[in-house]
Structure 1
Amino acid sequence: MGLFDDLSKFLESRLEEFLRNNPHLELDALSEQLREQEEDTLKLIADLQLQEKRKQDEVLSTAQEIQRWHMRVQKAKNAGREDLAAKAQEREAALLRQGNQLWGQMQGVKERITQAKDLYKQIQQRRQEVQAKATQAQAARTKAQAQQRIETDAGWWSANSNYPNSSKYDDLEEKFLRWETEAELEEMKRKMGK
């Protein structure tokens, strides 16, 4: 197991390093993770709604049984059968307890549905934020690449001129873009952890 753990840690560190060097891929991976969480949350909501429907059916069925036994209590009392009336009242009371329990369970499921829907909205919002950051990062990369092409095509920064080498400035621009994107990613990860 030690070798497997070491290999796993090595691969994870290499992946983290790769993603740090390619922040746009990290944004893509984060967006994909959020998309999967959205799907899982939608499945959870659907499952909870099915549970809620079942509980509603059980509550309704129990209410009908309570009504039936209540009528039997009245019938037995009217007929002077106190022994049957007492047993019917016991059954009615047991059904009332069961109904209250089912009602509580149904309310719990409703609360979980509300929480799952809130979670879904939060995940959607975070995914939109990540997509916006990915779009910004892509625009910045495209702009930097276009600027580099313009400078290269125009020969503005040639090796024979007195101006600084453009690759140094492009490297610096790329470093700043990477650093800014990583900082934004870290901030988004902190927000997601909350």
Structure 2
Amino acid sequence: MGLFEDFSRFLETRLEEFIKDNPHLELQALEEQLREQEEDTLRLIAELNQEEKKLETEILNIAQDIQKWHTWVQKAQAANRLDLAAQAQEREATLLRQGNQRWGQMQGVKERIQKSKELYYQVQQRHQEVKAKAAELEANRAKAKSQPTPQNSWETQGWNQSQFYSSSDSFNDSLEAKFRQWEMDDELNQLKRNMGR
């Protein structure tokens, strides 16, 4: 589960940076990533559930075969056909080993399902937190727009900055957001590569 832990730590540290730098755009990007993580985790859980069902079916089939061979061992022993009884016992022992192996695999899958469910709830909770933060931020932005402040008023705008500076500033903010998004994507890709090893 190292990938999930690294991803969770990454999200926690980046959330604070996102809020400081460009809250509304970065929160939207983070919200999208969390939504994708939820979907990926649900897909993984579905795949693991299918694998568990497949293993259960195999175990039941092996158990039926073990019963059949056990019955043949008893019949061969009763008929004093020790050669057949020995071969049937070997087959029964092989099936028991296969059954134990499949049982162990199924227990491993069940553990992975449980951990994936825990991860899903953690990601879902983080997603809700980000949604709430985005809604709070949007409410604050709407409130700030409706209340004129000295920096935003017509009288002081000309004194503090030129029109050229403000348009250049918004261009830089857009460019900065692109670079931050690129860096974030690069970090995510690096995490994915590290986990794939």
Same fold (TM over 0.5): yes
8 Å CA contact 1:19, 1:25 repeated in 2: no
1:85 maps to 85
- In 2 relative to 1, CA 136–166 (structure 1 residues): closer, same or farther, beyond 3 Å? farther
1:119 maps to 119
CA distance in 2, matches of 1:147, 1:23: 20
1:49-68 aligned within 5 A: 49-68=49-68
Offset at residue 85 of structure 1 (A): 0.6
Identity rate, percent: 61
Q: Which amino acid aligns with 1:85?
A: A
1:97 maps to 97
Q: TM-score, structure 1 length as denominator?
A: 0.67
Q: Which amino acid aligns with 1:109?
A: V
8 Å CA contact 1:20, 1:26 repeated in 2: no
Q: Deviations over 1:124-159 (max 9, x none)?
A: 0000000011011101101111112xx69xxxx784
CA distance in 2, matches of 1:68, 1:134: 63
Q: Which amino acid aligns with 1:134?
A: A
1:42 maps to 42
8 Å CA contact 1:76, 1:84 repeated in 2: yes
1:12-31 aligned within 5 A: 21-31=21-31
Q: Which amino acid aligns with 1:119?
A: L
1:45-194 aligned within 5 A: 45-148=45-148, 159=155, 165=156
Q: Deviations over 1:39-92 (max 9, x none)?
A: 111111110000001000000000000000000000001111011111111111
User: Alignment partner of 1:121: what SS?
Assistant: helix
CA distance in 2, matches of 1:21, 1:105: 47
Structure of larger gyration radius = 1
- In 2 relative to 1, CA 19–121 (structure 1 residues): closer, same or farther, beyond 3 Å? closer
Q: Which amino acid aligns with 2:82?
A: E
- In 2 relative to 1, CA 22–158 (structure 1 residues): closer, same or farther, beyond 3 Å? closer
Q: TM-score, structure 2 length as denominator?
A: 0.66
Unmatched 5+ stretches in structure 2: 1-17, 161-190, 192-197
Query: Which one scores higher on RCO, CA 8 angstroms, separation ≥ 6?
Result: 2
Offset at residue 21 of structure 1 (A): 4.9
Offset at residue 22 of structure 1 (A): 2.9
User: Alignment partner of 1:80: what SS?
Assistant: coil
8 Å CA contact 1:34, 1:123 repeated in 2: yes
